Chain A
Amino acid sequence: MSTVTSTLERPLSKRRQIRLSRRIVSLGGWTLSGLCLLVLSVLMVWILMVVFLRGAGALKWATFATITQGNGGGLKNAIEGTLVLSVGALLLAVPFGVASGIYAAEYPNSPWAKTIRFLADVLVGVPSIVVGYFGYVAMVQWMGWNFSVAGGSIALAIICLPYICRTTELALRQVSNDLRDAAYSLGANERRVVLGVCLPAAMPSVLTGVLLALAVSVGETAPLLYTAGWSNFMWDGHLIKSPIGYLTYAIWTFINEPFASANRLAYAAAFLVTGFVLIINVLARFVLERRARQ
């Protein structure tokens, strides 16, 4: 009897040992991966705290009401400039982006649509400074526009275009094919089906994509540095040959200045840009999440 129990016991205890070591490895794995997520979340919170706490301290009424003067003043000119440049970029990018997105979604298997889709993904990855330098070479120098609203907006539009194309395509793909079939069976032609039925059905998601593109363009710096320039004054209404200010430039330049008033402008600009970008992203997520659930 005793030999039987001992032979039974030995492998049993050995097995328990293996199990313990495997448990430790597993526990260690979960802990490490949890730590990774924790580190990311903490850093995210750290960034947000730096931007929002210091930014909130730097915001005053004068920030919105006065233009930049030397190393102080306000950001009225930069806020206006950011709006002008971004709206200009959207005016240019939305028609082309939505049209490309429609084409990529509605004729998904045609080689041209595959090419468009692929190139849109590649264009997203082209560094923004490359687009900015292209803008400098092509528009500031070759076209002779100097630093200008037109140059800045076109550079931003190039950045936004692939985003809009992609979000439009994804939005239209969520539209059920039953809807298309129903419209065709009622005798609608291709144009009516796409523009009259599918696009309205996908409109909230398409608009969300446009808003996300707006957030991207508000946060960009590198494409504007050598296309839009910088100006301490309000926009004079000229599309070419007159530079314009924008918020991201204020962040980059004024944080390097040795004056507290300049640093405050940088923090205020960072607060405005980050706040705007985050609000749009959260809104967009709510809209897309709700539509995905439907």
Chain B
Amino acid sequence: MKFRAWLALVAGILPVILLSVVLFLALYSKQAIHFNGWGFVVRNTWNLGNLYMDPIMRHGFQVQPGATYGILFLIVGTLLSTLFALLFAVPVGIGAAIFLAEAIPSHLRTWISFFVELLMAIPSVVFGLWGYVVVIPFLSRHFFPLLAATLGRLIPFFAGPTGSGYSLLTASIVLALMIVPIIAATLRDALVSQPVSLREAALGLGATRFEALWKVILPGARKTLIGATFLALGRALGETMAVLMVSGNALNYLPHNIYDPISTMAAFIVSQLDSALQDPTGMAVRSLAEIAFVLAIISVIVNGLARLLLLVWNNGQRTAAV
């Protein structure tokens, strides 16, 4: 066989892996998908049923009496924590990228960018450790009461009680810190590579340096920003360990304010597998697989979309940063 054909064949492992991850999860959770139906995403009860009784037949499936699987609280938790994380991360990422690209001399820029972007290399579980050990005590003692006393008077969602510190807001802050470098790095690259003539034209028309940046250079990098935000969104949706350690792992509970505990789809899989294994019918483990399957589909769509946007908008050039 020709060398090129061999390479093409070996490279085929990537699509095979992606496909088999999705297919395996789909096949394994097939019974759960049939049993749970569409109610899976609108019910707010995850209940393994009575594990001390004999399994019964329901809708043609063997399950424990009283077993219901619904993940509305996970969907709400995942969406809210991701949304708040993006609300913090996008402005901070834009600010950091602007300052790195425009205000710092280029010989320093490389190393300061590198330092900030090292945040991407820090393992998720270390973020979790940091969140658990120092951020939660700090927020629950000092920041949350302050926030509830000020912003809480205006917006009910920010009003107390401020709880234990394991919260939607804590998870969002830690998540935000994890995804900020994705936005900052990608946007900084795009800002630096904007044509110099654009800036010169803006300055020549009497704009200040910041106006040239804000009104001319930054709009030119708008598409990169959108793509990077999607990438960050994908990362935040699937983040596991850090969220697991700071979110409070709420069960069957919808947050009433921003200080309430939540759980996300990714974190729930880790926190529940041990107890799901107690279910002799296996339906609980299959329902967890259904969550993983949904998460896989969502992440493939979000990441695929992000990469497509970045590819099309950058004329086929991939971003170098992330």
Q: Which chain A residues have a beta carbon within 8 Å of chain B's beta carbons? A: 22-23, 25-27, 29-30, 32-37, 39-41, 43-44, 46-47, 50-51, 54, 95-96, 99-100, 102-104, 106-107, 112-113, 115-131, 133-134, 136-138, 141-142, 158, 161-162, 165, 170, 189-191, 194, 215, 218-222, 225-226, 248, 251-252, 255-256, 266, 270, 273-274, 277-278, 281, 285, 289
Contact = CB atoms under 8 A, between A and B. Distances in A.
A179 B121 CA distance: 34
A36 B302 contact: no
Contact of A128 (B2, B7, B118, B240): B240
Contact of B304 (A122, A252, A285): A122
A116 B17 CA distance: 11
A127 B214 contact: no
B266 interface: yes
Contact of B129 (A51, A138, A218): A51
A37 B295 contact: no
A40 B184 CA distance: 10
Given A99-B7, A116-B15, A125-B238, 17 more contacts: A29-B98, A30-B99, A30-B103, A51-B129, A112-B11, A113-B11, A126-B299, A127-B299, A133-B289, A138-B20, A165-B14, A219-B125, A220-B123, A221-B123, A225-B270, A274-B123, A277-B123
- B-side binding surface: helix, strand, loop or mixed? helix
Interface of B: 2-4, 7-8, 10-11, 13-15, 17-18, 20-21, 24-25, 28, 91-96, 98-100, 103, 110, 112, 114-116, 118-119, 121-130, 132-134, 177, 180-181, 184, 208-211, 213-214, 231, 234-235, 237-241, 244-245, 266, 269-270, 273, 288-289, 292, 295-296, 299-300, 302-304, 306-308, 311, 318, 320
B17 A37 contact: no
A274 B237 CA distance: 24
Given A122-B303, A130-B299, A270 B18 contact: no
A64 to B, nearest CB: 20
Contacts of B95: 32-37
A25 B13 CA distance: 53
Given A33-B99, A289-B110, A222 B270 contact: yes
B11 A104 contact: yes
B124 A221 contact: yes
Q: Which 5 A-B pairs have the closest CB atoms?
A: A127-B238, A36-B95, A219-B123, A125-B303, A26-B210
A26 B123 contact: no
A191 B128 CA distance: 47
A255 B98 contact: no
Given A112-B11, A126-B303, A274-B123, A41 B3 contact: no
A94 to B, nearest CB: 12
Contacts of A158: 17, 21
A200 B159 CA distance: 62
Nearest to B131: A47
Contact of B91 (A36, A170, A248): A36
Contacts of B28: 137, 141-142
Contact of A37 (B116, B122, B300): B116
A289 B184 CA distance: 19
A250 B116 CA distance: 27
A50 B130 contact: yes
Nearest to A47: B130
A189 B10 CA distance: 20
B170 to A, nearest CB: 14
A36 B238 contact: no
Contacts of A115: 15
Contact of B123 (A34, A141, A248): A248
A137 B180 contact: no
Contacts of B235: 125
A258 to B, nearest CB: 13
A27 B2 CA distance: 62
B273 to A, nearest CB: 6
6 contacts: A44-B115, A129-B266, A129-B295, A134-B20, A222-B270, A273-B126
Contacts of B308: 118
Contacts of B4: 103, 107, 190
B217 to A, nearest CB: 12
B15 A130 contact: no
Contacts of A138: 20, 24
A256 B92 CA distance: 31
Contacts of B20: 134, 138
A133 B269 contact: yes
Contact of B238 (A112, A121, A128, A255): A128
A33 B118 CA distance: 19
Contacts of B311: 118
A221 B124 CA distance: 8
A99 B273 contact: no
Given A26-B210, A26-B211, A130 B13 contact: no
Contacts of B303: 121-122, 124-126
Contacts of A285: 114
Contacts of A170: 320
